[in-house]
């Protein structure tokens, strides 16, 4: 079976206050062809907030890779990139 892309969204208070709430809508904004290829889960803290001052919340990760200032568009682009990279 094809391996799914794993998306983790921070649902911690910091990321939520800093604009993370719209990420709750990621699933319904995924293009049809991506819906079955992605696993989305919430996580209280992904640990990125304390690691680097240059990276800003809200945080998410796609296959373990950090996405800072995450938005729905940014995450969809990153998912597509992961799928493409997986083909090579």
Partner 1 sequence: MGYTNGAMLIKREITNRFTKLYYEGKLETEIDKIPLIISPKMAKKPVRCCIYKEREVVNNRLISLLGIPITPTMDELMRPSDYIEIAKQREETPTCRLNIIDAACSSCSKEQHVVTNHCRGCVAQPCMLNCPKNAISFIDGKAEINADACVNCGICRNVCPFHAIINTPVPCEQACPVDAISKDKYGIARLDEDKCIHCGKCITACPYGAVTQKSHLYDVMKSIDNGKKVIAMLAPAVIGQYNVDLEKIISGVKELGFFDVVEVAVGAEMTAAEEAHEWKERMEEGAKFMTTSCCPAYVELAEKHITDLKPFVSTTPSPMVLTDRWVKTTHPDAITVFVGPCVAKRSEAINKSDVKYVLNFEELGAMLISKGIELSEQSTDVDIAAAGHVGRGFAQSGGVAAAIKTAIPEGVNEIIINGLDKPNMRALKSMGKGKCDGNFVEVMVCTDGCVAGPSCIADIRVAKRQLAKYLNRN
Binding site for partner 1 (CB under 8 A): 11-14, 16-19, 21-22, 24-25, 44-45, 56, 71
- Dist CA 19 CA 9 (whole Å): 12
Question: Based on CB atoms, which residue is closest to partner 1, 1 or 44?
Answer: 44
**Is the bond into 13 cis (omega within 30 degrees of 0)?**
no
Question: Based on CB atoms, which residue is closest to partner 1, 45 or 66?
Answer: 45
Q: Quickly tell me which residue has 């990279």 as its tokens.
A: 85
3-state secondary structure of 26: helix
What is the end-to-end Cα distance of the chain in Å, rounded? 17
Question: Based on CB atoms, which residue is closest to partner 1, 21 or 52?
Answer: 21
Shortest Å distance, C-beta 61 to partner 1:
18
Question: Based on CB atoms, which residue is closest to partner 1, 28 or 85?
Answer: 28
- The answer to whether the beta carbons of residues 31 and 72 sit under 8 Å apart is no
Shortest Å distance, C-beta 43 to partner 1:
10
Shortest Å distance, C-beta 25 to partner 1:
6
Residue 22 in tokens: 């719209």
């Amino acid at each position: 079976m094809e391996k799914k892309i794993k998306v983790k969204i921070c649902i911690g208070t910091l990321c939520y206050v800093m604009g993370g709430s719209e990420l709750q809508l990621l699933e319904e904004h995924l293009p049809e062809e991506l819906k079955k290829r992605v696993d989305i889960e919430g996580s209280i803290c992904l640990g990125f907030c304390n690691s680097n001052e240059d990276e800003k919340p809200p945080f998410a990760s796609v296959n373990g890779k950090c996405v800072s200032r995450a938005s729905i568009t940014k995450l969809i682009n990153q998912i597509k990139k992961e799928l493409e990279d997986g083909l090579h």
